[in-house]
Amino acid sequence: MTNAEIQSMARGSTLSENETLLKRIFDKDSVFNLRYVTSRNGENRYFIAYFDGMVNNQIVDLNILRPLTLCERDSTPSDLAQRVITTDTFRITEDLAQACTAMIQGDTLIFTEGYREIVAASSKGFQTRSVDEPDFEKNIRGPREGFTESIITNTALLRRCLVSPDLKLDMQSVTTFSDRKICLCYLDTLVDQAVLERLRKRLARVEMQTMLSANYLEERIRDSRYSPFKTVGMTEKPDIAAAKILEGRIVIIIDGTPSVLTVPFLFLEYFQSGNDYYSNFWLGSAQRILRLVGVFLSVSVPAIYIALVCFHQEMIPVKLLMSIASSREGVPLSAVLELFVLLATFELLNEAGVMMPQGIGNALSTVGGVVIGQAAVDARFISAPLVIVVAFTGLTDLLVPKMKEVMLLIRLFLLALSAMVGLYGYIIGVFFVLAYLISMKSFGVPYTSFLATWKLQDVRDTVIRAPIWFLHKPSVREHEGGKR
């Protein structure tokens, strides 16, 4: 039953009428509990409603039931909430839909005979996952905490990282089949008000049936909805989220998921990692450059190989050309088709490894790749140089896991152009991708804003990672490449 249907129901002020409505709304719900309570003087009657598993039974018993039974005076719902029950927070409402939503989220409802007002007393006590380190954002050095599925726990973790009254935590609800709470987190003195206003407008337009993960919201509020490039960031680490906020960005915490969103998201953030800031700046810069070079090679090597072998053999050294030609002797497939088959096989093995249990999946990916590759070469179905090209491509894919899907699409795009017109097609494809990146924006901020200047202050945390003491100097630009 939806909130609109609940609001359309006619309500009364007697306990029996309210009981009938609640039982109608939560019909066939075995964990819904409703209990009548009579005060010590026998004159006041109430009933409480809550869900098993969503409340802390000790709070219900000691802070709600016991005070109600010991009450010896007539109390309005307002007096009841302020002077009788002893929960930390409460809300008084006449809206049955709002009250039911609060009960679903773990509150206990208190109905009083003769009054339409409902007291929703805080009694949340459902089980949550403990705070631990995310599997995909592990640090060699630095904090090991990660966000959980509880929005209250996540806001507390973020508040611990940023101990400042300037940190604003703006709780909102997104319209879904059942309203899902989100929290906008930002520093009031640093946030770009134009970006914040754009975000609020997009959130106000969001309507969906459900929101089971952060990706549901990301796809609704992002720029360039059909682009393979992300314009909304995502992290599970409180320290990284805090660093984003200190740069003037906005963090969106969503109840029920450990992944938080960050806006705006710029292209260089693909290549930045928390480990860059917990090691020497020389090493951090070298690792970042290595990621950039790795991504370039990952999308380019297959296309360049096909362009040279099929169209520009004169550019290959003679000995290497003779080696490639001898390895292809007896292979029934063309070089282009051969490469596409091998890339598809590699992706199938990778996907199978992800879907299988961790121990079996790792063995399947490793052993399967070795066995299939060797067998294909021995059977003269695939040439040996091509196995090396695909293996190198798969290795460089691992440098930037966040870009895996994007690299796959760009790789296939450049490979198709190279297969048609050789290196000219590859160069045209590279320029097309660069032009597309330059045209993109994330919440009004240019996606490749780091290309607009070569001033030292503005490139201090882009391709390289400058020393920490240099990062803290004021920047001459309002928007720069992300620091994480």
- What are the C-alpha distances in Å from 357 to residues 29, 353, 409? 35, 8, 27
CA atoms within 13 A of residue 46's CA, in its CB half-sphere: 31
Is the pLDDT score of 435 beyond 90? Answer: yes
Residue 112 tokens read as 């009083």
Residues 202, 203, 204, 207, Cα dihedral to 10°: 100
- SS3 label, residue 312: coil
- What confidence category does residue 7 fall into, taking pLDDT thresholds of 50, 70 and 90? low
Contacts for 243 with CB less than 8 Å, ≥ 6 apart: 277, 483, 484
Mean pLDDT across 309-337: 84
Q: What is the secondary structure of 221-288 as a DSSP string?
A: H-SSTT-SS-SSEEES-HHHHHHHHHTT-EEEEETT-S-EEEES--GGGGG--GGGGSS-HHHHHHHH
Residue 484 has what pLDDT? 40
Q: How far apart are CA 307 and CA 420, in angstroms?
A: 9
Tell whether the model's pLDDT for residue 456 goes beyond 70.
no
Q: Is 106 helix (H, G, I), strand (E, B) or coil?
A: coil
| 3-state SS, residue 290 | helix
What whole-number distance in Å separates Cα of residue 237 and Cα of residue 137?
7
User: Which pLDDT score is estimated for 423?
Assistant: 93
What pLDDT shows up at residue 479?
A: 43
Instruction: Note the pLDDT of residue 275.
Output: 79
Residue keyed to tokens 């306990």: 15
CA atoms within 13 A on the CB side of 276: 28
pLDDT of residue 476: 37
pLDDT at 379 over 80: no
Mean pLDDT of all residues in 331-354? 81
pLDDT, position 265 = 92
pLDDT number for residue 97 = 83
Please give the mean pLDDT across all residues of the chain.
Answer: 83
What are the tokens at 218?
A: 């990301």
Q: Find the mean pLDDT for residues 322-345.
A: 83
Res. 455: pLDDT tops 80: no
Q: What is the pLDDT, as a whole number, of residue 419?
A: 92
pLDDT confidence of residue 234: 92
Whole-prediction pTM value?
0.81
Residue with the larger pLDDT of the pair 340 and 353: 340
How far apart are the two ends of the chain, measured CA to CA in Å? 44
Per-residue pLDDT, averaged over 227-249, amounts to 90
Would you state the pLDDT for residue 250? 93
Element (H, E) at 385: helix 384-397
Q: What is the pLDDT of residue 366?
A: 60
113-161 pLDDT per residue, tens = 888 888 999 888 877 778 888 877 777 777 888 898 888 889 999 998 8
Burial of 147 (0-12, 13-18, 19+ CB in 10 A): buried
Predicted local confidence at residue 477, as pLDDT: 40
pLDDT at position 415 is: 93
Confidence of residue 362 (pLDDT cuts 50, 70, 90): low
Q: How far apart are CA 59 and CA 71, in angstroms?
A: 17
pLDDT computed for residue 483 by the predictor: 40
**% of the chain surpassing 70 pLDDT:** 87
> What is the band of 482 on the pLDDT scale with cuts at 50, 70, 90?
very low
pLDDT in tens, 48-83: 899 888 888 888 889 888 888 887 777 788 888 888
Phi and psi at 129, nearest 5°, equal -70, 145
The pLDDT of 432-440, averaged and rounded, is: 92
- Token pair of 78, please? 């307002």
Is the pLDDT reported for residue 184 higher than 90? yes
Quick check: 207 pLDDT over 90? no
Q: What is the pLDDT of residues 29-38, one digit of tens each?
A: 888 888 888 8
Identify the pLDDT of residue 144: 85
Is the pLDDT score of 108 beyond 80?
yes
- DSSP-based three-state secondary structure for 468: helix
Q: What is the DSSP string of 62-94?
A: IIIIHHHHH--S---HHHIIIII---S-EEEES
Give residue 409's pLDDT.
92
Given a cut of 60, is residue 481 above it in pLDDT?
no
